[in-house]
Structure 1
Amino acid sequence: MDYSLCYLFGTVFISLFVPFMLYLIPWKKHTSTYEGVPRGKMGWPIVGETLEFVSLGKQGKPDKFMQDRMQKYSNQVFRTSLLMEKMVVLCGPSGNKFLFSNEDKLVTGWWPSTVTKIFKSAPAGKKETKQLRGALPEFLKMEPLKKYIPIMDSVAKQHLKENWCNKREVIVFEETKNFTFELACRLFLSIQDPEFVATIAKHFNFISGGFLAVPIDLPGTNLNKAIKAVETLQTFILPIIKKRRMKLMNKGESVIRDILSHMIIMADGAGMFANDLDIATKLIGLLVGGHDSSSSTITSVIKFLAEYPHVYDQVFKEQREIANSKGEGEPLNWEDIQKMKYSWNVICEAMRLRPPVAGTFREAITDFCYAGFRIPKGWKIHWNVYTTHKDPKYFPDPDKFDPSRFEKDGLRPFTFVPFGGGPRMCPGREYARLVILVFLHNVVNKFSWEKLVPNETTISLAIPTPSEGFPIGLKPHENAMVHEV
């Protein structure tokens, strides 16, 4: 029996037989622990309800876990056990508001043990979170980002020319990951060498796969692959940091001020980071966040445009008008982005139905009450977009793809939360918005397309991932018919 079969057998045994044996053990019940806490069930000993949570995600039904329990126990709050932790899920806009507004008062950030093992660091507390966000340059805010729109446009055009225009078919998820990673390397680290970018990109592909993996660090496991990937990437990035520091010392203000330069300045001047290894690790985390969620969202948008030709036509009309208003070779600018109102509505609806991140975790730092229930100190708390994104009370006919939902200003606060909220709201949300809009402008002006795998499943764990990568057949516009609206 070769190693892969041994590993497969071991995984099946751990997943199926160990929980069964644990169930047979006469565990002592500590009923006082659960007095006054939200209704729900803890599932199997140790593994809790994690297997069902992961299984539904692999089936492309990540919302079912939340909706079933909200219907059975409460649409405000329920308890469960995930990732070997006692956990409470706060539901609906009230739950989102409560959680986002009590950051570092009642709750603090928490990550699964797999994430801390991958990056070898604990979750950032209040002080470190504030410092980390302060270490991110003005670059990630809207005003400074405006000047990077022409670069985004140039990189998108070059990517399509080299990787789409000479093909009849493309694997969308793979290509959009390449594009968003190349762009992040250029804007975050000022790296433009395509061979170097391709070399480190293949290591990044293992990282997010380890976030919700079985927390066993053995050769061949997803967690082990993610840990090794980070260690390898550190060896690539450390020389870049040292080289950039030398340039900063010798040339000062004339050196490009990207995220890397800013972090080095913060480390040397304010002691923000422990050492260069710390900077490298934080940069790897930023690069993961800077391209994974954007590529997933772009893939979702392309999927929905293939399924709804009348929506594609309206996006095409809007983007073609912008393209026709430009001079020969003139890049996109901020004024063009402002005209992409319908396109942004389409992107928002795609993020509502297939959010790039389904939710994150917190830890109760003190006992507190919510909705009449006790949340014990140390319990973990999960907020999940599907407690509002798929609720017909806030989004009528919630499974329907309908960009017109976002034409009004009447969305109830805390119902549409693809970027989270509060002090830990995604700092790269404006960056992601521009990246997605710029790419959409360029791909729609060059192609229409059709799905090649009609019933492809989307696996929803760390990020939504098409099981086949979402292959499409391209139709360059000179040969394509555009549907009448």
Structure 2
Amino acid sequence: MFEYFLILIAGVLLYKLLSRKTEIDSTFNLPPGHLGISILGESLQFLYKQRKFFDERHAKYGNIYKTHLFGKPTIRISGKENLEKLYAAENKLLQSAYPESTVKIVGNNTLTSSFGRDHTEKKIKIMKCFSPEFLNEVFPEVSEFLTNRIKDWCRSPSIAIYPECNSMFLELAFTSFVSMGMPKSERARVQTLYHEILKNMFTLPINLPGFGFHKALRAKEELKSIFLKRIKADKKSRFEIPAILENLCKSEDSEFNDEVLLNGICELIFNAGETTTAAALCVVCNLAQNPRVLAKLRQELETVDLLTPPEENNNQSVDLTPEVLSKLTYLDCVYKETLRSNPPVGGNYRKVLETFELEGYTIPEGWTVVLGIRETQHSDSGIHDPLSFYPERWLEKDSSKLGFLPFGMGPRRCPGKGYAQLVLKLFIIKLCQQCDYTLSEEIPELVSFPTPKPKNNLTGVFVSRKHRK
């Protein structure tokens, strides 16, 4: 609340000094909506309501509406056909342009902040690292890691779901991509710092004590300090870091230096750890609320002799192979339905390069466009009862026509899709194999900005299925 109070004071002063509306060509047929007051626009309402801000406006105005966020006139667009057109127009009509606060927190020369040729070069190199060979190589390590962590959950009287998932997937990202070992106390601090960054990723770029932007920048600097210290402690040279990180940090036109390396580490761990945390949280909640789905998953696993917990199978995790994983049809349905019902990323930010029209509305050059993934997946006319968790919808003949864009589309489609799919499917299997569990809330309440997480302190009791017949 203190931050909102400071923002309000700053807003009032700015309004008195600069009380004028954004200049708009009167001939434009702009979408419905409001731009709010000068400079601030509707940023205060957004920071207070978060996801509800978008839900209310989508319900009122439909797939296209205008607003004003973080100093930029903004149009949020949803609908499967609309988004497919706009993703296809990347670098022609639109260009990636996240809010100033987000770009400054993520840092320069990162995949998120780059665009055009620079982004294309980085993306190509990273895609080579996320090859099927890489995924096959890390498969047994990821499987064993998840097995051991869920065993730990079963040994505890109860666990806090979100912090435990977050700790697990951040650590997995460390080991998979950065080959960086950390003591437990250091991992806990890193987790706290990432949470501070995530909480303040989308805010007004006011770098003064008490403001979220200031807190996020301080957290980022401490993270970089921890990572640099760990690199030196591990005695890694620039030539010994994993290829995926080197390719992320270096392009033909840039020098490879410590600042670039540390920004690359922070971005890679954030993207791999936070988004999989959000998806795994939703897996836990969805299976707890839908015992029918859990039973059906276990039936499918039993048909390929995968239901036996690893400790009863002499820990022969080699029985679970990438080839077997790809043949589990209902598992794939549960995976897709998890990402459809609760996408880890609710929208993508773009800058309009050239004025164009969509559904009869003018989308002006220089404005920000937000491609609404969440609204598209929740309101697609082809989806029956879109707010229900129903994996069977992916078995229907026309399932390929459903609005499903959790990784985006086009040139900026998430390069880590294969890794996310591998990790989440293995996580679902381990839950089915190893434990039964109950949650502290029968219907967990989630907030979805910037990624899904529990509104309350959601806890769970996990009991091993060992020796159960």
Query: Is TM-score (shorter-chain normalized) higher than 0.5?
Result: yes
Q: Structure 1 residues 33 and 206 mapped into 2: Cα distance closer, same or farther (>3 Å)?
A: farther
| C-alpha displacement of 1:242 | 6.6
Partner of 1:330: 316
Contact persistence 1:53–1:65 (CA under 8 A): no
**Cα deviations across residues 307-358 of structure 1 (Å, max 9, x unaligned)?**
1111111123333532449853222320231133212211221222211010
Partner of 2:75: 88
- Partner of 1:39, secondary structure, is coil
Q: Structure 1 residues 273 and 15 mapped into 2: Cα distance closer, same or farther (>3 Å)?
A: same
Percent sequence identity over matched residues?
23
**Cα deviations across residues 1-20 of structure 1 (Å, max 9, x unaligned)?**
xxxxxxx4563363489469
- Indicate whether 1:426 and 2:447 are aligned: no
Partner of 2:171: 182
- Indicate whether 1:288 and 2:270 are aligned: yes
Contact persistence 1:91–1:388 (CA under 8 A): yes
Contact persistence 2:352–2:365 (CA under 8 A): yes
Partner of 1:473: 461
- Partner of 1:226, secondary structure, is helix
Aligned 1:282-321 pairs, distance under 5 A: 282-320=264-302, 321=305
Amino acid at match of 1:176: C
1:139 to 129, 146, 161: 129
| C-alpha displacement of 1:178 | 0.9
- Indicate whether 1:238 and 2:222 are aligned: no
Amino acid at match of 1:215: P
Partner of 2:332: 344
2:447 to 456, 459, 480: 459
**Cα deviations across residues 94-115 of structure 1 (Å, max 9, x unaligned)?**
2111111011111100111111
Contact persistence 2:309–2:433 (CA under 8 A): no
| C-alpha displacement of 1:86 | 0.7
1:192 to 165, 174, 181: 181
- Indicate whether 1:417 and 2:409 are aligned: no
Contact persistence 1:23–1:44 (CA under 8 A): no
- Aligned-partner Cα distance in 1 for 2:14–2:119: 42
- Aligned-partner Cα distance in 2 for 1:137–1:17: 44
| C-alpha displacement of 1:152 | 0.2
Partner of 1:124: 114
Q: Structure 1 residues 218 and 62 mapped into 2: Cα distance closer, same or farther (>3 Å)?
A: same
Partner of 1:441: 429
Unaligned residue ranges in structure 2 (runs of 5+) = none
- Indicate whether 1:14 and 2:7 are aligned: yes
**Cα deviations across residues 217-242 of structure 1 (Å, max 9, x unaligned)?**
22243222211121122223335567
Partner of 2:138: 148
- Indicate whether 1:69 and 2:61 are aligned: yes
Q: Structure 1 residues 219 and 25 mapped into 2: Cα distance closer, same or farther (>3 Å)?
A: closer
Partner of 1:4: none
Partner of 2:371: 383
Contact persistence 1:389–1:416 (CA under 8 A): yes
Unaligned residue ranges in structure 1 (runs of 5+) = 1-7, 250-254
1:166 to 155, 169, 176: 155
Q: Structure 1 residues 411 and 468 mapped into 2: Cα distance closer, same or farther (>3 Å)?
A: same
- Aligned-partner Cα distance in 2 for 1:29–1:392: 33
- Aligned-partner Cα distance in 2 for 1:359–1:413: 20
- Aligned-partner Cα distance in 2 for 1:319–1:465: 28
Partner of 1:276: 258
Q: Structure 1 residues 390 and 238 mapped into 2: Cα distance closer, same or farther (>3 Å)?
A: same
Greater shift in the superposed pair: 418-427 or 404-413:
404-413
- Aligned-partner Cα distance in 2 for 1:313–1:211: 38
Contact persistence 1:109–1:362 (CA under 8 A): yes
Partner of 2:99: 112
Partner of 1:213: 203
Partner of 1:252: none
Contact persistence 2:278–2:344 (CA under 8 A): yes
- Indicate whether 1:370 and 2:358 are aligned: yes
- Partner of 1:165, secondary structure, is helix
RMSD: 3.1
Greater shift in the superposed pair: 290-299 or 34-43:
34-43
Q: Structure 1 residues 289 and 248 mapped into 2: Cα distance closer, same or farther (>3 Å)?
A: closer
Pairs aligned (count) = 459
- Aligned-partner Cα distance in 2 for 1:54–1:309: 36
- Indicate whether 1:41 and 2:34 are aligned: yes
- Partner of 1:205, secondary structure, is helix
Amino acid at match of 1:259: I
Contact persistence 2:11–2:40 (CA under 8 A): no
Amino acid at match of 2:33: G
Contact persistence 1:19–1:45 (CA under 8 A): no
- Aligned-partner Cα distance in 2 for 1:387–1:58: 10
- Aligned-partner Cα distance in 2 for 1:26–1:115: 26
- Indicate whether 1:100 and 2:87 are aligned: yes
